[in-house]
């Protein structure tokens, strides 16, 4: 099993443990912040399970039905995760506003503080693990999951701080106010996740630094006179590139094909962490101006 899939299973197991802990203590204490965190962890569990399914499908090779593979499932999963974060943030906002209007006293403060402290330790360990996995494979789903649990880490820390303040000062209004701040932060943090997933679904070009790596290499190939119509896109871990290479009229098809094969291999070597598919069009002269392509 690939490391990315193992990471989603670890995330799912961790989320399940946190849901049980927070839900029990949240009901006992009556803290809207802890209950909101429990709901968020439950959504984390659902998302992590879906991420496992998405990665399992995305790693399958291209076939007769999906000629370009299933890599966009990763973008769908990341976009859905961003939406889940946003919706859970709105739910927390609603719950906090309700408690702000109808205040309730938090009970079992000592247990609540202990559980949130344990949650922070568990979540911090998970975030470090997910960041490590994301760095190894640059996987969009894992990066989204890492960012998701990082927001949980910050919100859990804020909840723990508020519980401590309430414990020593008995200022109960801190709980709903903190819930509102957590909700705003969660919706804000979801935006970059959804944006990256949406851009991938829209076949946006690779990042500028990746395109620059390709152009720098192509400029160094002495066997071609120029190139044009360099198009790129990503679908999860799959990278798709097409380019027109310009040769001289006297270059034989055999030599042009040999150079094109070498170019494909060298460009693939630039992206060791992804599966690269390259289409090279061989031109005997520069037809960029008369070609209708963008």
- The pLDDT tens digits of the residues spanning 108-158 come to 677 778 888 888 899 899 989 988 888 776 677 787 778 778 877 877 787
Most confident listed range (45-59, 102-116, 237-251): 237-251
pLDDT, one tens digit per residue, over 169-222 is 777 777 778 778 878 877 887 888 788 888 888 889 999 999 999 999 999 999
Where are the chain's structural domains? 3-201, 208-283
Q: What fold, for 208-283? A: Alpha-Beta Plaits (3.30.70)
Q: What is the structure's pLDDT at 26?
A: 77
Which residues is 276 bridged to in the sheet?
A: 239
pLDDT band at 225 (very low <50, low <70, confident <90, very high): very high
Instruction: Give the separation between CA 280 and CA 177, rounded to whole angstroms.
Output: 58
Listed residue (275, 212, 211, 268) closest to 239, CA to CA:
275
Find tokens 């990471």 and name the residue. 7
Q: What is the structure's pLDDT at 292?
A: 56
Q: Which residues of 95-134 are buried (b: 16+ CB within 10 A; e: fewer)?
A: bbeebeeeeeebeebeebbebbeebbebbbebbebbbebb
Q: Do domains 3-201 and 208-283 have the same CATH topology?
A: no
3-state secondary structure the chain: CCHHHHHHHHHHHHHHHHHHHHHHHHHHHCCHHHHHHHHHHHHHHHHHHHHHHHHHHHCCCCCCCCCCCCCHHHHHHHHHHHHHHHHHHHHHHHHHHHHHHCCCCCCCHHHHHHHHHHHHHHHHHHHHHHHHHHHHHCCHHHHHHHHHHHHHHHHHHHHHHHHHHHHHHCCCCHHHHHHHHHHHHHHHHHHHHHHHHHHHHCCCCCCHHHHHHHHHHHHHCCCCCEEEEEEEEEECCEEEEEEEEECCCCCCHHHHHHHHHHHHHHHHHCCCCCEEEEEEEEECCCCCCCCCCC
Q: What is the structure's pLDDT at 266?
A: 95
Which residues is 282 bridged to in the sheet?
A: 245
| Mean pLDDT (whole number) for 270-279 | 85
Q: What is the structure's pLDDT at 32?
A: 67
| Mean pLDDT (whole number) for 270-280 | 86
**What are the two backbone dihedrals, phi and then psi, of residue 47, each rounded to the nearest 5 degrees?**
-65, -45
Q: What is the structure's pLDDT at 294?
A: 47
Instruction: Give the separation between CA 98 and CA 221, rounded to whole angstroms.
Output: 65
| Mean pLDDT (whole number) for 63-85 | 81
pLDDT band at 232 (very low <50, low <70, confident <90, very high): very high
Spatial neighbors of 220 by CB under 8 A, at least 6 apart, are none
Residue 293 has pLDDT above 70, yes or no: no
pLDDT, one tens digit per residue, over 5-56 is 788 888 888 888 888 888 887 787 777 667 777 877 787 788 778 778 877 7
With a threshold of 0.75, does the pTM exceed it? no
Q: What is the structure's pLDDT at 243?
A: 96
Instruction: Give the separation between CA 20 and CA 84, rounded to whole angstroms.
Output: 19
* Options 2.60.40.10, 3.40.50.720, 1.20.1510.10, 3.40.50.11900; CATH of 3-201: 1.20.1510.10
| Mean pLDDT (whole number) for 71-88 | 81
Instruction: Give the separation between CA 87 and CA 186, rounded to whole angstroms.
Output: 9
Helix (H) or strand (E) holding 192: helix 174-201
């Amino acid at each position: 099993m690939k490391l990315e899939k193992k990471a989603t299973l670890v995330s799912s197991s961790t989320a399940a443990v946190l849901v049980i802990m927070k839900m029990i203590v949240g009901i006992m204490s009556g803290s809207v912040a802890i209950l909101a965190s429990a709901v968020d962890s439950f959504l984390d569990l659902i998302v992590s399970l879906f991420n496992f399914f998405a990665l399992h499908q995305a790693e399958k090779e291209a076939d007769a039905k999906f000629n370009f593979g299933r890599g966009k499932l990763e973008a769908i999963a990341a976009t859905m995760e961003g939406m889940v974060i946003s919706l859970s943030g709105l739910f927390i906002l609603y719950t906090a506003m309700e408690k702000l209007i109808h205040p309730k006293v938090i009970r079992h403060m000592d247990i609540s503080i202990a559980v949130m402290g344990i949650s922070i330790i568990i979540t911090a360990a998970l975030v470090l693990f997910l960041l490590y996995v994301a760095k190894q494979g640059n996987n969009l789903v894992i990066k989204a999951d890492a960012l998701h649990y990082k927001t949980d880490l910050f919100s859990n820390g804020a909840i723990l701080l508020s519980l401590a303040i309430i414990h020593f000062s008995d200022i109960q209004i801190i709980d709903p106010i903190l819930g509102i701040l957590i909700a705003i932060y969660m919706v804000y943090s979801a935006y970059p996740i959804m944006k990256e997933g949406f851009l991938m679904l829209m076949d946006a070009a690779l990042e500028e630094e990746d395109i620059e790596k390709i152009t720098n290499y192509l400029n160094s190939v002495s066997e071609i006179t120029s190139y044009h119509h360099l198009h790129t896109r990503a679908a999860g871990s799959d990278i798709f590139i097409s380019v027109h290479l310009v040769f001289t009229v006297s270059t034989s098809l055999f030599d042009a094909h040999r150079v094109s094969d070498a170019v494909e291999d060298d460009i693939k070597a630039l992206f060791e962490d992804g599966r690269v598919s390259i289409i090279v069009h061989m031109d005997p002269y520069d037809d960029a101006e008369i070609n209708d392509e963008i």
